[in-house]
Amino acid sequence: MNAVSRILKFIRFSHTVFALPFALGSMLVAAKGVPSARLLGLILLSMVFARTTAMAFNRLADWQMDQRNPRTAGRHKLITHPGAMALCIGSAAAFVAVTWFINPLCFALSPVALALVFFYSLTKRFTSWCHFFLGLALAVSPMGAWLAVTGHFALPPLILAAGVVLWVAGFDLIYATQDVEFDRQEGMHSMVVRLGVARSLQLAQGLHAGMFLLLGGFGAAAGLGPIYFGSLGLVLAALVYEHRVARRLDLEAINQAFFVSNAFVGCVFVAATLLDTHLRTETFFSWIARF
């Protein structure tokens, strides 16, 4: 495995498919079409650098504890501690630099975004609400994408960000069932430790129900049409599938359902938003023609 492959595995780059679609969907609505290639590239770069920073910091914060956890013990064979530190600092600097090229508001808020993604990694040491802080960290992406396009706050991305908070908190509760015994032994806080597995899974269902309603609210506030609202049936089916698998408490099946279901939700969301905002007005084809 080469160095790049080790770094990508270390930061679980494949999980970028969770936050990125909601940033892209917010961007598409804000731009009322695909933005310029320059702005699209800057948004993608800022997303990659922000997530890399967050994951590297999370690994550093949990470095010793992760080595004691059988599920995560292999992570630290992929990169050295100084290497992880350099990755975190370099990605954070790159993120701030990229926002400077977007607009003054994004640049001014870039330290706030980094503070949010850093803070999440510490929350499980003192609060069982850590899952919601993870949701808040990922909710920065749709808000940031909207600000990158428009330079001002608005209602649609706030609704979408709230939906992302509930979505992420819900699937993180499901994911946390894998570590409930280890977290108890280590004195870590989570809703699964506090409520138990069964009640945590019920809470996750409620959170995902709220997320589904907020996706509808985002579509209404953004003026999206039947293509978008029709796609919500696929989102609901994916969420139901994820919770049915979670009830079996099969760790291998939970891992698979966690990735597949949530990646599917994100891909359906961005595809439906793209179709609804672009193909109906043919702006997508016009954008492609510029190349």
What CATH number is given to the structural domain containing 139? 1.10.357.140
Higher pLDDT, 255 or 273: 273
pLDDT average, residue stretch 73-91: 82
Is the per-residue pLDDT at 282 higher than 60?
Answer: no
Task: Collect all residues with Cβ–Cβ distance below 8 Å to 274 and sequence separation of at least 6.
Answer: 24, 25, 28, 284
In the predicted model, is pLDDT for residue 224 greater than 70? yes
Q: Give pLDDT, residue 82.
A: 87
Total domains in the fold of the chain: 1
What domain range is 197 assigned to? 3-289
Residue 18: count other Cβ atoms within 10 Å of its Cβ.
Answer: 22
Task: Specify which of 9-13, 173-177, 226-230, 260-264 reaches the highest per-range mean pLDDT.
Answer: 226-230
Question: Could you say which DSSP state residue 190 is in?
Answer: -
pLDDT digits 0-9 by tens, 225-264? 999 999 999 999 999 999 988 887 676 777 777 778 888 9
Residue among 122, 215, 138 nearest 171 (CA): 138
Q: What is the pLDDT of residue 84?
A: 85
pTM of the model: 0.90
d(CA 166, CA 218): 14
